[in-house]
Amino acid sequence: MIVELVSTGTELLLGQIVNTNAPYLAARLNELGFSVLYQTTVGDNRDRMKSVLQSAIERADIVITSGGLGPTQGDITKEVTASLFNKSMYLHEESVRRIKRFFDERRLCMTDNNLRQAMMPEGALIVENTCGTAPGVITEDQASGKIIINLPGPPHELAAMTETSIVPYLQEKFGIQGAIVSKVLRTYGLGESALEERIKEYILSQSNPTLALLAKNGEIHVRITSRAADEEQALQLIHDLESQIRPLLQEYIFGTGEETLEASAGALLLNRNFSIALAESCTGGLVSSRITDIPGSSRYLTGSIVCYSNTVKIDQVGVAAETIADKGAVSPETAKEMALGIKNKFQSDIGLGITGIAGPDGATPDKPVGLVYIAVAGPGGVVCHEHYFNGTRTNIKHRTALAALNHLRHYLTGI
């Protein structure tokens, strides 16, 4: 069954609120085996909403709307749905009683316009709202077999209604739709085009499972999606394809699903029973912050110093004054001494040193904005990596943090 999601509300188009309903519904419906092929957003305009719903119902079996069921004149989703199926509106007395009870129990004064929420399309199935006042509506068109489901806009109301009423309705009416399952391989260190080239054969020949690449916050995610009669079969299809493409990307894959670079590096530190200390200059503690985002990181992070000034690099971290005078604060030599110095200061197994020019000022002809050195010191010796990042100051800091965690991961893997 093909589903289209239609999010209503001018506030969505103005960017005043973030639409979290569509991602939730899409994920939930895919879990149930329904194919969500389209998503549309439309404002609170009667003509435009009717046009959008008309297009949606022509290309989908089920249209699910969110928003526009409230008490104000701008809440028109039910009325537009009714007009699309040539149904009149009537006052649903049970909904009236529920709405009045909602206000009475909270000792609130109910204004008359709240009764707009009890106006329903003729012949529709009314869905109780256990978290708010606006009921949901399921309108079935007997002639075409098409269905429009109207859900409230507040996310907690929509989610509760979906789980308690809409999912059971869909399962009872349409039975088991099969399973649509996805797995994401998270990679770092290889650009999107270069990564695609490595697995191009599988992308061009894809059918089921499908392959998709997504560039996200400096990472490239490889999503494998399969459809089968049940989850077990879908997972087997994913496993079969993953086993073919993983060897082509192995060194760049750091995790799956929601696993982050910091979680991957932390797991490696735990597995080797290593501790780490950091000396950060241009990142300003960002890498340390990401490492401590992981619960249990106190088992391997001994400490860190944000050594922005040369004085702190020298007095607190142990970088030689001569090194900074001769080579500069942003240099491979300084980065290496930062990594070794912080390792010794905190008596950790691993030391990580980061220095660079995040901009927009501070550059020289030989050292442009975005030049970064990342050094790792430990049982495998001292290694230093040079990078040239572009973008804003925030972008450069973010990309440096990712690169530092990735270098740490490779260092730990190689010793």
Which CATH number goes with the domain that contains 200?
3.30.70.2860
- Say whether pLDDT at 415 is over 90: no
* Whole-number pLDDT of residue 56: 98
The DSSP code sequence of 185-202 is: EEE-SS-HHHHHHHTHHH
- pLDDT score for 74: 86
Average the pLDDT over 350-370 and give the result: 96
For residues 245 and 114, state if they share a domain.
Answer: no
**Residues 35/70, Cβ–Cβ less than 8 Å:** no
pLDDT of residue 339: 98
The two structure tokens encoding residue 183: 């797995």
**Which positions ≥6 away from 34 have C-beta within 8 Å?**
1, 2, 3, 62, 170, 177, 180
What is the extent of the structural domain holding 354? 261-413
Give CA torsion, residues 159, 165, 169, 171, to 10 deg. 60
One domain for residues 252 and 310: no
pLDDT digits (tens, 9 = 90+) for 234-249: 999 999 999 999 999 9
Predicted confidence at residue 262, as pLDDT, reads 98
Same domain (yes/no): 147, 189: no
Residues 17 and 156 in one domain: yes
Q: Which of 196, 223, 256 is the last residue of a domain?
A: 256
Per residue in 40-67, pLDDT (tens digit) is 999 999 999 999 999 999 999 999 999 9
Last residue of a domain, one of 150, 174, 198: 174
**Would the pLDDT of 128 be above 90?**
yes
Q: Are residues 142 and 76 in the same domain?
A: yes
Q: pLDDT at position 106, please?
A: 87
- The tens digit of pLDDT for each residue in 271-329 reads 999 999 999 999 999 999 999 999 999 999 999 999 999 999 999 999 999 999 999 99
Check pLDDT > 90 for residue 139.
Answer: yes
Whether residues 358 and 375 share a domain: the answer is yes
Same-domain check for residues 145 and 274: no
pLDDT tens string 23-32:
999 999 998 9
- The 10 Å Cβ neighbour count of residue 93 is 9
Angle in degrees, 0-180, between the axes of helices 393-413 and 261-272, rounded to the nearest 10: 30
Whole-number Cα distances in Å, 58 to 5, 48, 146, 148: 13, 16, 9, 12
Count of C-beta atoms within a 10 Å radius of residue 250: 9
Tokens representing 291?
Answer: 């490492």
Helices 46-59 and 77-84: crossing angle in degrees, nearest 10, is: 50
**179-187 and 253-256 beta bridge pairing:** antiparallel
pLDDT (0 to 100) of residue 119: 96
Residue 286: which CATH number? 3.90.950.20
- Quick: pLDDT tens for 247-263: 999 999 999 999 999 99
Residue pair 181/246 in contact by the 8 Å Cβ criterion: no
CATH at residue 133? 3.40.980.10
Which of 351, 395, 349 is CA-nearest to residue 372? 395
135 and 275 in a single domain? The answer is: no
Residue 368, CA distances (Å) to 333, 355, 357, 371, 390 in order = 17, 13, 7, 6, 10
Question: Mean pLDDT of all residues in the chain?
Answer: 96
88 and 140 both lie in a single domain? yes
Residues 115 and 21 grouped into a single domain: yes
- pLDDT tens-digit map of 164-206: 999 999 999 998 888 899 999 999 999 999 999 999 999 999 9
Do 403 and 372 touch, CB atoms closer than 8 A?
A: yes
**Count of domains for the chain:** 3
Do 278 and 384 fall into the same domain?
yes
Tell me the C-alpha distance between 400 and 393, whole Å.
11
Which pLDDT value is given to residue 176?
A: 80
Do residues 377 and 401 both lie within one domain? Answer: yes
Show which of 215, 236, 256 is a domain's final residue. 256
Residue 20 has pLDDT above 90, yes or no: yes
